[in-house]
Chain A
Amino acid sequence: MSRSTLPTSTRRPTHHHRPSRAPIPTKRLLVAAGILVFLIALRFATADAAPIPIAAARDAITLAISVIIESLPFVFLGIGLSIAVQLWVPTRVILRILPKNAFGRRVVLSFLGVLLPVCECGNLPLARGLMSRGLTVSDSVTFLLAAPILNPVTIITTYQAFGWSDGILVSRIAGGFVIANLVGWMISRHPNPTNLLTPDFAASCRHDQAALHGRRSRGREAVELFSRETTSMLPALFIGAAIAGTIQAAASREFLVALGGNPVWSVIALMALAFVISICSNVDAFFALSLGSTFSPGALIAFLVFGPMIDIKMLAMMRTTFTTRALVTLTSVVALGALVLGLGVNFFA
């Protein structure tokens, strides 16, 4: 598939030659190398600079950087997988192996995370890649919501943290699966699911599906996809991390912890905490464990189901793809699902 959004007038002359034999413009490359050297030099030069004197501001930055450094590898991994899916897996293969029946297709896609164990920040580029390969919005959202929970890394870390106690592991897996498929089903009932996408992303999907393979080298395609996905994802990740770090530094966790014992409020409090701290689904179980005896099991389950699907960082990133209205609805449904699950466990389990 080529980025063939080029106007037809320019496409003809530009694609007869493989670009790979072209010489590299030395001057521009020197500029790029110069920038890289400058960045590295800047880092070494400022290593011992005076820290910011205001503790709260310094902590907010430290927390934001920790979110970025923790998430960035997963974003790269997700973009890498997304590029691989878009360039090396033909659409017909994807569409052939999936069941024709919409319900069955969403069920299968819920478990795609088993093969592609990326956490939520890596899933979004992948879901975008799947949509631009022609998968429907409802199918992709089902994958996007289910995969961070239904993947081996998350399941293993949750098991390590909790074992079988309180049914936390089982409720997390079942809850994630049910909520993801519920949301997918709701979107499939939408008269025009494409309206849930930002106009720009929808347009880029149309381009991609209309595009033909083989016009340009795969390497060049991959690099353009990398530029495009990082330009979409990283600003959102950085802004989301900054917001999460600021809130975390400004607001005391004390207040939330004080609500811990109450069967209703503890569920809401931990969902709020999951929303704010935006930690990665692959590791959030360890964090939940540290809250273990303060909070009710239902609250922990709500934390472990809601957090991977929706948090500040994810909303910032999802906004590149979905409209605000779609995200508000999505967040409400997922929050409601997690709340019902948490309360159900507290009152009936």
Chain B
Amino acid sequence: MLDRTLTRWLGILLSAFGVVATLWLAATGQLTLYIHPRYVVFTTVMAAIGGLLVIGAVVLTFRGSRKTGREGATAALDSIDDHVGHDLAGHDHDHNPRSPLRRRLSAAGGVVLVVAAAIALLALPPASLSTGALTAGELDTTSSTTLDDAPNLVGGDSANFNVKDWAALLRQGLTAGDLAGMNADTIGFVAPDPAGDPDLFYLARYSITCCAVDAQPIAIPVESTRWADTVKEGEWVRVAGSFRDSTAAGATTVLGATSIEAIEEPTEPYVF
């Protein structure tokens, strides 16, 4: 009984979860926690169409089963069951009859899947990727072409530059002299210097090209004496200052912070 109900409704139920989750994220402006903004419209439209199909499926299934009577309804269920019931078991086996154990296992698996999907998509609050320490390899932007297509930003209105813009400028090899007169005032999360310098941290954000699965960190070095006294690793901060040559060994360009304040995680934590 249970497995039959499941095979009839599993796809519709999981579709409904996905549709409700997607449309709710879209309505609350949080879809970009998971996908790049360029897919927001497509995803929302398809989710709406999926929602209509789900409603249509529910209504027509009921109408069909009522008209054809109990016998017809059972037959219709058999038909669906024949088509998809076995797929859930995920094993090669003789076609009929299915062993009662296998039926029960596949039903149990279906129930677990439904509950897990409901929790993940509908009961857990939307989350961004966790912030914190990044490795030296992750912080090394010299090889990242994510920054290649950065427009010519020098002399632009630097007040609106985000971490990605600044990282692009630094990657072009611009020195503190080139950046003179451009004040930075931007946000990101704190990633400690992998080498352990107590006066240096990286101001980082995740950059997304398609969806959260491909998130890559982008960071700029920030110099601030004993930063750990004011802010914590992984914390979101707003940093203001200007670029200068590092006081430590190695003539790298760093952001000399004049102010660092802890902030709430922004509603759009990623850069695109």
Contacts and interface: CB of A to CB of B under 8 A. Distances in A.
Interface of A: 3-7, 10-11, 13-14, 17, 19-25, 28-29, 32, 35-36, 39-40, 42-44, 46-52, 55-56, 58-59, 61-70, 72-74, 76-77, 80, 198-201, 203-204, 207, 219-220, 223-224, 226-235, 238-239, 242, 244-245, 248, 252, 254, 257-258, 260, 277-280, 283-284, 286-287, 289-294, 319-320, 323-324
Interface in B140-191: 143-146, 148
A286 B272 CA distance: 11
A229 B84 CA distance: 8
A49 B124 contact: yes
B11 to A, nearest CB: 3
A49 B84 contact: no
Nearest to A260: B143
Given A227-B57, A278-B213, A42 B63 contact: no
A24 B125 contact: no
Most chain A CB inside 10 Å of its own CB: which residue of B71, B75, B85, B110 = B75
Given A52-B124, A70-B35, 8 more contacts: A6-B75, A14-B69, A19-B63, A29-B62, A47-B126, A52-B127, A226-B57, A238-B113
19 contacts: A22-B66, A29-B59, A39-B20, A39-B118, A62-B33, A62-B127, A66-B35, A68-B121, A69-B211, A70-B211, A72-B22, A224-B79, A227-B9, A228-B84, A245-B213, A277-B214, A279-B211, A286-B210, A289-B145
B268 to A, nearest CB: 15
Contacts of B61: 223-224, 227
B31 A279 contact: no
Given A44-B24, A235-B110, A198 B122 contact: no
B46 A77 contact: yes
Given A23-B63, A199-B86, A234 B24 contact: no
Contact of B60 (A43, A204, A220, A291): A220
A252 B74 CA distance: 50
Residues of A contacting B: mostly: helix
A228 to B, nearest CB: 5
A235 B88 contact: yes
A293 to B, nearest CB: 5
Interface stretch (B90-98, B219-227, B237-245, B246-254): B90-98
A148 to B, nearest CB: 14
Nearest to B82: A5
Contacts of B122: 39, 42-43, 46
A233 B10 CA distance: 10
Given A68-B18, A72-B50, A254-B137, A51 B42 contact: no
B129 interface: yes
A252 B124 CA distance: 25
Contact of B209 (A10, A42, A63, A287): A287
Contact of A24 (B59, B85, B110, B129): B59
B39 to A, nearest CB: 7
Nearest to A319: B90
B66 A230 contact: no
A230 B54 CA distance: 10
Contact of B128 (A5, A62, A248): A62
Most chain A CB inside 10 Å of its own CB: which residue of B20, B45, B62 = B62
Contact of A65 (B16, B121, B145): B121
B138 interface: yes
B74 to A, nearest CB: 8
A204 to B, nearest CB: 5
B66 to A, nearest CB: 5
